[in-house]
Structure 1
């Protein structure tokens, strides 16, 4: 079940919200846990048992770590931490990377005789695994106490708004809200508007540009012209941003409807002036997770520049691997890691007056990186990138058929709103419409119109993928 489906919008969500607010406070967490497990089982079937097993294992490990610390047994608590983290990573490795490992070992002559044909990737496993690991580490660091209620911990791990595509929500950030939270009318309204914003991003922009990107990347590179390769990567650049940030907006909005305040996951990353800034603005919950639970423990930038470079490469190797069991993702991560290292070198630094060149450089690096990320294999990616800069003609013109006036308008809007244009519009609107009641009425009309337009888009197409579900 996806947030942008009519089943979710008109059946699941209203039903869950209605029952949730009818229940007493002490029963709401249990209900949200049941609803979340049902939500996951809807699409994943018996793999919901894996989710339940993960909840049980992390509950036991969290209690064991906490009690060991209370009894002043640091070695025992470290042992339970290592065991808990190891079990989480073992499950993730088996379900997400076993095919990749077996295939690559076979290429070097090591053959493992096991049947993995029935091993399928559970949706969202990377997200809920990282949430579980952050919980165990924070308990070990005494940032939080081990959760004594398996219902409360289970709801945290399985909470459906952010379960299958993030953002990665840390237990420490919502631990108080798990125990007690209040949904005010203002918070609920903010949740609705945030959900509708994400819904429109996904349906109106991501789906339309994604269709063009799929047509381009689905063609043999030899048939593509240079102009078409740039159109393809531009559309994919917009698709992956509006797809994932749209989902994050919907997740954050849904969280507010139930009284949770999830942290932001995107902050207009395409206006960045460096790759370092890009990763402060893109998939913030993942980049900060790696910073706090890997980069800093490795030494961060405290042990000299060469050790810093090694730490960055380790982090971005694993960032790429986190995204998928493919060399494309690993190379994409290392590609970003390389530019992060280059940016730390003195010879690369540009004076502040060259802001335009810095933004151009960032977009060029990111778009070339997205080719590596999107391509089916490295060979295709390299050939595609070569065509981008070869200034050649091609024979494949089918994607041009999708570049009608409406799609070009969507692309233009996607480019404009990838910058913080909305805040400027709101500020200017407040100056033009000083009457608060008129401003509120106009806001309601805008969101209702966006919702209706999105529903009309949804009704006329079967193309509705979520890119980050595969991670």
Structure 2
């Protein structure tokens, strides 16, 4: 399991606040650049020099593309090469690595290890969006290289996003401001992220490992898929909440990446509109729409949609398993568009059955996502006799009860928040209710958390 030690994060926040106090308002962004470079160096070592060089190339390409728009393809290809090498020379199956290796343990003698850098995907995608937005004349090239560098390696976003456009983030860097309100809102998000990660996600992860090493088979094997589906949400969204909170302390508002209660979607289309939002928007804006404009008669819309989901899958990892996972997602969306579930009668019944239908097929896709051997997966579910390890489940009773208890609390607050972000939801509460929630979440974390670290599965990608 990949963990970021909380002490490291606390040091980052403290050092950033101290440095911010030393700079004038118009130069406060320099403090975040310094701390981002230092703490990123702690995690990736000398490889940060490669990223600084790549950032400078992106910076210079911005001016080249402004003068000659036709250079955009060459520019994008140049900065894609390291990511392609990274994805095609990976260290192995992602879920296996996640359960057995530390992300800093790399085969240093392999030439390709230079490109095995945490956050390279997000660095590259932000770099590409920066160049394409210049080509589209949405923005002008930033004249200060160090602002571009901060945009590309900003510590709270480099590991798992959310992805941001330069037009959205760079102006915020120029107006950094710490206040009582920003600290309060930031700490709420940090607390919420810690609760989801340390109490729910990490406990689900233990349950997944226990069951995956047992004799569970037949339809019961879908339980693993369901657990991973909820684990991935709690893990990834909590990491986003956590670093959104850190940014909020500095007065920087990062974009939301997950819709509240997205796990209770009634269709795959609804799910993808609320899941990893900024990545999906990136592929929509910088791949799908670019090709769709050549399809004036809309003959190949579904094909482009399928290719988009395949690329999203291969971004995770260049494997046959992920290729199949991407094809399944694309075909699922296409099938829903053709059937048009909204036309079905009885809206209330359709909504409830939609939850069940989506969760069922999500379990299968989750198993494909984490399975290194699809034949073994098919055999385990459809050929082997049904078996559930009752003794193991009995030994996990307390863990299961805590997961259910904490999940109900999370879902309750999300249901009350509606479309509001958690910090805004708490802001609407009375002072008494806010402090009741603070104390409740803090006590649950202190009593039921397992590790003093923030677990982040998506660091692997």
Shorter-chain TM-score category? Answer: 0.7 to 0.9
| 1:446 and 2:437 are equivalent in the alignment | yes
Q: Output the CA distance in 2 between the equivalents of 1:207 and 1:464.
A: 9
Using the TM superposition, give the Cα deviation of residue 171 of structure 1 relative to its aligned residue in structure 2, in angstroms: 1.1
Using the TM superposition, give the Cα deviation of residue 412 of structure 1 relative to its aligned residue in structure 2, in angstroms: 4.8
* Residues 97 and 19 (structure 1), Cα distance of their counterparts in 2 relative to 1, 3 Å cut: same
Stretch deviating more after TM superposition (365-374 or 302-311) = 302-311
Deviations 1:188-207 (A, max 9, x none): 31111012111111111100
1:178 is matched with which residue?
A: 173
Q: Output the CA distance in 2 between the equivalents of 1:49 and 1:205.
A: 37
| 1:261 and 2:261 are equivalent in the alignment | no
Using the TM superposition, give the Cα deviation of residue 306 of structure 1 relative to its aligned residue in structure 2, in angstroms: 4.4
| 1:95 and 2:90 are equivalent in the alignment | no
Q: Output the CA distance in 2 between the equivalents of 1:469 and 1:51.
A: 17
1:356 is matched with which residue?
A: 352
Q: Would you say the 8 A contact 2:218–2:385 is kept in 1?
A: yes
2:26 is matched with which residue?
A: 26
1:71 is matched with which residue?
A: none
Deviations 1:112-163 (A, max 9, x none): xx96574562111111111111111111111111111111111111111111
Using the TM superposition, give the Cα deviation of residue 445 of structure 1 relative to its aligned residue in structure 2, in angstroms: 4.2
1:280 is matched with which residue?
A: 273
Aligned residue among 59, 83, 106 for 2:74:
83
Deviations 1:418-452 (A, max 9, x none): 5732427x9xxxxxxxxx99931441343244235
Aligned residue among 360, 367, 370 for 2:363:
367
Aligned residue among 293, 306, 313 for 1:320:
313
* Residues 400 and 346 (structure 1), Cα distance of their counterparts in 2 relative to 1, 3 Å cut: closer
Aligned residue among 366, 377, 391 for 1:381:
377
The 3-state SS of whatever aligns with 1:197 is helix
Deviations 1:271-315 (A, max 9, x none): 222111111000000111111111111117964564111111110
The 3-state SS of whatever aligns with 1:182 is coil
Aligned residue among 200, 212, 216 for 1:205:
200
Stretch deviating more after TM superposition (199-208 or 181-190) = 181-190
Q: Output the CA distance in 1 between the equivalents of 2:444 and 2:42.
A: 27
| 1:468 and 2:454 are equivalent in the alignment | no
TM-score for both structures, normalised by structure 2: 0.85
Q: Output the CA distance in 2 between the equivalents of 1:32 and 1:201.
A: 27
* Residues 36 and 295 (structure 1), Cα distance of their counterparts in 2 relative to 1, 3 Å cut: same
Using the TM superposition, give the Cα deviation of residue 170 of structure 1 relative to its aligned residue in structure 2, in angstroms: 1.5
Q: Would you say the 8 A contact 1:202–1:247 is kept in 2?
A: yes
Structure 2 runs not aligned, ≥5 long: 93-108, 421-426
Stretch deviating more after TM superposition (206-215 or 10-19) = 10-19
1:16 is matched with which residue?
A: 16
Q: Output the CA distance in 2 between the equivalents of 1:119 and 1:410.
A: 39
Stretch deviating more after TM superposition (48-57 or 442-451) = 442-451
Using the TM superposition, give the Cα deviation of residue 385 of structure 1 relative to its aligned residue in structure 2, in angstroms: 4.1
Aligned residue runs from structure 1 range 64-463, under 5 A: 64-66=64-66, 68=67, 76-79=68-71, 81-99=72-90, 116=111, 118=113, 121-219=116-214, 223-226=215-218, 228-267=220-259, 268-299=261-292, 303=296, 306-346=299-339, 350-351=344-345, 353=347, 354-386=350-382, 392-393=386-387, 399-400=392-393, 403-414=396-407, 417-418=410-411, 420-423=414-417, 439-455=430-446, 457-458=448-449, 460-461=450-451
Using the TM superposition, give the Cα deviation of residue 42 of structure 1 relative to its aligned residue in structure 2, in angstroms: 1.2
Stretch deviating more after TM superposition (346-355 or 272-281) = 346-355
Using the TM superposition, give the Cα deviation of residue 53 of structure 1 relative to its aligned residue in structure 2, in angstroms: 1.6
Q: Would you say the 8 A contact 2:203–2:399 is kept in 1?
A: no
* Residues 98 and 312 (structure 1), Cα distance of their counterparts in 2 relative to 1, 3 Å cut: same
Using the TM superposition, give the Cα deviation of residue 373 of structure 1 relative to its aligned residue in structure 2, in angstroms: 0.9
Q: Output the CA distance in 1 between the equivalents of 2:428 and 2:133.
A: 46
Q: Would you say the 8 A contact 1:211–1:463 is kept in 2?
A: no
Q: Would you say the 8 A contact 1:99–1:116 is kept in 2?
A: no
Deviations 1:7-48 (A, max 9, x none): 134433222223223422233222211211222111211121
Q: Would you say the 8 A contact 1:85–1:133 is kept in 2?
A: yes
RMSD: 3.0
Q: Would you say the 8 A contact 2:178–2:249 is kept in 1?
A: yes
Greater length-normalized contact order (CA 8 Å, ≥ 6 residues apart):
2
Structure 1 runs not aligned, ≥5 long: 69-75, 102-113, 427-435
Q: Would you say the 8 A contact 2:119–2:160 is kept in 1?
A: yes
